[in-house]
Amino acid sequence: MPTPVLDQIAIEFAEKNHLTGVVFKGKGNFKETYRATIREGEFIALKILDPQKCSLARSQRENQTMLKCDTPLIAKLYDHGSFSANNGQSYYFCIEEYLDGGSLAERISSGALNSNIIRQYAITLIEALDYLKNMDLVHRDIKPENIMFRSSSNVPVLVDLGLARDLSESSLTPTWLPQGPGTPYYSAPEQLNNEKHLINWRTDQFSLGITIGICLTGVHPFSKTGMTQGDTVTAVANRGSCTSAFTIEASDLGFGFVVKMLHPWPHRRYQSPAELLDEARR
Amino acid sequence: MTAYLQMGHDTENLVGEQDLDAFGGIVLSPVNREPAALTRHVQSFRRRGDFDIVIDPQLYFPGSRRGKLPNQPYYPDDLDTADFSSNGWWTDVVTRLGDFAGTLGVDAVASPVVHPRTWNDDYFARCARTSSSLTRYLHGSGIRVLTTVMVDIDYTVDKEALLRMASILSGGDNSGYYLVIVTDVDPRREISDEEELVGIMSLVRELENTGRPVLVSHCSSDMILFKAAGASHCASGKFFNLRRYTASRFGEPADGGGQVSYWFEHGLLAFLRSADVLRILGSEFSNLLGTLSSNNCWASQILDNFRLDSPLAWVALGWKQYLSWFCKTEQTLGSGNSEELVREWLRTANDNWRNLDDNDILFDEARNDGRWIRRWRQALTKLPDS
């Protein structure tokens, strides 16, 4: 478990907002996640963003759109905003539905997945992408850690929409990082190369393809023996193809459609969630 | 899979004409007609047949050649001074164009574009956004939106730029694409740069492979290449494609003038002037004339005319002979293995040109010697697979 650095800020926020029982749950590139108690037995996920690493104005604008999402496929965002801490710094916070069934990353590690379950997850997650597309949103950070489950449920839920981009907004600020936001290991080439005009739901399709690929085979679909994570990311950024080993294995398992999801150019991936769903259900 | 008749100056009488019935669609030209006339024509076309009618708003026309365009209700008065990066400006154009399309009762509308100063990702992203915005505006109206893809053929030579363009354009909402190719080649001459041909054919193929149909506008005999690349539809009209030997399209008379007659010969994939037709008729290669769809009722009338003591001018017959070839050939290529068929036609044309040359049968136009055929063949060979 990584070490929290914003824990005092989370506690301070909780005290000011009548929350108790703050427990550190995880850490991403830009933020830390805590579980907090509203009242006995009822929890929320509290996310504190590091102001040194992200744009508060941008987060605020994008989360405003996320508040409109109303589907069980996506963790509900209850509130968001900024607050001034006692250290004089301004921090951005998100309060989301707390999902206590663990993450897909944990299920992959436990080795509990078989191809039937993976297919069910894939179908549900494609439906989630369809929902986001209809909202004109791109998640931009789909990965096993951002796919959670409600307690004793087998239905995956997309979380952490903090990087989501509202495509209907024309006044987006430049990106946060040279390679664009997102987790590089799961990112599409257009994200890694920061090609903003190419980013849309098909970018999420690619990340979901990587996620499904890892569920199926345990390795990144672009990774060959001896490659580091950095080498793999470079291969994706250079618009390579997924490995022939992965192509064969995915096909043998009845997941040949994932190879198309992973095409380096968006126009050669599936062009609509409906088309992708049809393939996934076959 | 159907050919579209590209309207131009005084073209409406060709709709439903004899031996032109393989045209299943019509592209309206607001440059040439007042709004009220466009409305009347749409109604008239509906009575004449089951045509798919598309309006091309033509905002990409240069200022000196806009004709009736300024009278169209969607025409922005500040077209030459506007800030094209303004969403508000485009929203206004989209709204007015969408309303006009509804009033006209067309089946589809090509999204509005302007001729950019530079071809780049920003430009194509704007094209995709405008198309999406028009699609949203017309949602539920039954009118399809085609994303207008206006592109300099030279830009498509860069493979990376081409793939990025296809990805950007296919990210927008639409029911298909309307391709407007910009080239420095004289309108009456064949495009014969191999790399450019490979580029533009690849673009057609990439866009078609997204599952949405491509309609290539303003085609000439190069239609066969676009069909080989997989284009669902191609459009052509009478003036643009027949008078090939002028310096530039926009240097031509505004009324579409040009009184030189041409025969289109499938066996040579070339346009022939009167003297050349007679030259072949008087040679041992007379059976070369009228191959496949270039043999049509208009071809017969042209040949009958030559038999008169004083042959009449046959400009209009020439347009119809070519257009009849165009729509029937487009149809043929829509029903089978078009790439292989086109390769075969090109091989035959290559042989025919060689035979003419070997027998010193040379045409009036010095550059009308079939040398583009080899380039077309080479371009087809280099075209990447689907």
The 10s digit of each residue's pLDDT in B172-218 is: 999 999 999 998 887 678 999 999 999 999 999 999 999 999 999 99
Q: Which residues of B touch A170 (CB under 8 A)?
A: 87
B139 — contact with chain A (CB < 8 Å)? no
Query: Of B189, B330, B192, which Cα lies nearest the Cα of B270?
Result: B189
Mind giving me the DSSP string for B226-288? HHHTT-SEEEE-HHHHH---SS-GGGS-TT-------EEETTTTEEE-HHHHHHHHTSTTGGG
Same domain, A146 and A232: yes
Give the confidence band of B261 by pLDDT, cuts at 50, 70, 90: confident
Domain count, chain B: 2
Q: What mean pLDDT is predicted for residues B64-92?
A: 93
Same domain, B150 and B241: yes
CATH code of the domain in which B34 resides: 3.20.20.70
Q: What is the pLDDT of residue A112?
A: 81
Query: Does some domain include residue B109?
Result: yes
Query: Does some domain include residue B86?
Result: yes
B177 — contact with chain A (CB < 8 Å)? no
Same domain, B218 and B244: yes
Q: Which residues of A touch B166 (CB under 8 A)?
A: 265, 267
Distance CA B129, CA B205 (A): 22
Query: Does some domain include residue B66?
Result: yes
A279 — contact with chain B (CB < 8 Å)? no
* A42-49 sheet: strands from edge to edge: A20-27, A31-39, A42-49, A90-97, A77-84
- Return the C-alpha torsion angle A23, A27, A31, A36, nearest 10: -20
Q: Across the interface, which of B87, B121, B211 has its CB nearest the CB of A170?
A: B87
Q: Which residues of B touch A137 (CB under 8 A)?
A: none
Bridge partner residues of A198 (DSSP):
none
Same domain, B316 and B228: no
Q: Across the interface, which of B121, B122, B166 has its CB nearest the CB of A267?
A: B166
Q: Across the interface, which of B87, B122, B170 has its CB nearest the CB of A267?
A: B170
Same domain, A57 and A134: no
| Both tokens assigned to A266 | 């968006």
Q: What is the pLDDT of residue B210?
A: 96
Same domain, B198 and B95: yes
Query: Does some domain include residue A130?
Result: yes
A169-228 residues touching B, CB cutoff 8 A: 170, 190, 195, 197-198, 200, 202
Backbone angles phi, psi at B70, to 5 degrees: -60, -15
Domain boundary among B251, B282, B311: B251
Q: Which residue has the tokens 């037709």?
A: B277
Same domain, A38 and A134: no
Beta pairing, strands A165-166 & A147-149: unpaired
Distance CA B145, CA B102 (A): 12
Distance CA B207, CA A133 (A): 21
Measured between CA atoms, how close is B210 to chain A, in angstroms? 6
Domain boundary among A67, A97, A127: A97
Domain boundary among B219, B251, B283: B251
* pLDDT tens figures, A143-180: 999 999 998 789 999 987 766 665 554 433 333 344 45
pLDDT below 70 — which residues of chain A?
1, 55-59, 61-62, 65, 162-182
CA angle B237, B241, B244 (to 5 degrees): 160
For residue B344, the enclosing domain spans 263-382
Domain boundary among A97, A121, A139: A97
Distance CA B172, CA B132 (A): 5
- Return the C-alpha torsion angle B145, B150, B156, B159, nearest 10: -40
B121 — contact with chain A (CB < 8 Å)? yes
Contacts of A256-264 with C-beta under 8 Å, sequence gap 24+, read A257/A282, A258/A209, A258/A212, A258/A213, A258/A216, A258/A221, A261/A205, A261/A206, A261/A208, A261/A209, A261/A212, A262/A206, A262/A209, A262/A210, A262/A213, A262/A221, A262/A222, A264/A189, A264/A236, A264/A239, A264/A240
Q: Which residues of B touch A190 (CB under 8 A)?
A: 167
For residue A27, the enclosing domain spans 7-97
B175 — contact with chain A (CB < 8 Å)? no
Query: Does some domain include residue B256?
Result: no
Helix (H, G, I), strand (E, B) or coil at B23: strand
Query: Which value, in Å, is the radius of gyration of the alpha carbons in chain A?
Result: 19
B124 — contact with chain A (CB < 8 Å)? yes
CATH code of the domain in which A245 resides: 1.10.510.10
- B172 compared with B72, residue with greater pLDDT: B72
Helix (H, G, I), strand (E, B) or coil at B170: helix
**B201 contacts B211 by C-beta, under 8 angstroms:** no
Q: What mean pLDDT is predicted for residues B277-290?
A: 94
Q: What is the pLDDT of residue A61?
A: 64
| Both tokens assigned to B306 | 């030559």
Distance CA A264, CA A266 (A): 7
Same domain, A113 and A77: no
Query: Which value, in Å, is the radius of gyration of the alpha carbons in chain B?
Result: 21
Q: Across the interface, which of B124, B125, B210 has its CB nearest the CB of A271?
A: B210
Same domain, A83 and A134: no
Q: Is the pLDDT of residue B298 over 70?
A: yes
A267 — contact with chain B (CB < 8 Å)? yes
CB spacing of A197 vs B211 below 8 angstroms: no
CA angle B104, B107, B109 (to 5 degrees): 80
Query: Does some domain include residue A2?
Result: no
Same domain, B356 and B244: no
- B300 compared with A160, residue with greater pLDDT: B300
CB neighbourhood size of B192 (10 A): 18
Query: Does some domain include residue B299?
Result: yes
Query: Does some domain include residue B258?
Result: no
Q: Across the interface, which of B122, B125, B206 has its CB nearest the CB of A267?
A: B206
Domain boundary among B251, B275, B301: B251
B163 — contact with chain A (CB < 8 Å)? yes
Q: Which residues of A touch B206 (CB under 8 A)?
A: 267-268
Same domain, B57 and B130: yes
B67-96 residues touching A, CB cutoff 8 A: 87
Same domain, A143 and A268: yes
Q: What mean pLDDT is predicted for residues B15-41?
A: 95
Distance CA B310, CA B318 (A): 17
Same domain, B204 and B270: no
Q: Is the pLDDT of residue B331 over 80?
A: yes
B168 — contact with chain A (CB < 8 Å)? yes
How far does CA B337 lie from the centroid of its chain? 21
Helix (H, G, I), strand (E, B) or coil at B351: helix
Nearest CA in chain B to A169: B87
Q: Across the interface, which of A170, A198, A275 has its CB nearest the CB of B171?
A: A198
CB spacing of B167 vs A275 below 8 angstroms: no
Q: Is the pLDDT of residue B50 over 80?
A: yes
Same domain, A130 and A250: yes
CATH code of the domain in which A54 resides: 3.30.200.20
Same domain, A89 and A39: yes
Give the confidence band of B248 by pLDDT, cuts at 50, 70, 90: very low
Domain count, chain A: 2
Distance CA A109, CA A127 (A): 24
Q: Which residues of B touch A198 (CB under 8 A)?
A: 164, 167-168, 171
In a mutational test of the B interface, the residue from A267, A269, A276, A279 whose CB has the highest number of chain B CBs within 10 Å is A267
**B246 contacts B187 by C-beta, under 8 angstroms:** yes
Nearest CA in chain A to B161: A265
Domain boundary among A41, A68, A97: A97
Query: Does some domain include residue A1?
Result: no
Same domain, B218 and B144: yes
Q: Is the pLDDT of residue B240 over 70?
A: no
Predicted ipTM of the assembly: 0.89
pTM: 0.91
Q: What is the pLDDT of residue B258?
A: 58
Measured between CA atoms, how close is B207 to chain A, in angstroms? 8
Q: What is the pLDDT of residue A207?
A: 97
Same domain, B213 and B307: no
Q: What is the pLDDT of residue A233?
A: 96
Query: Does some domain include residue B80?
Result: yes
Query: Does some domain include residue A191?
Result: yes
CB spacing of B210 vs A200 below 8 angstroms: no
Q: What is the pLDDT of residue B243?
A: 35
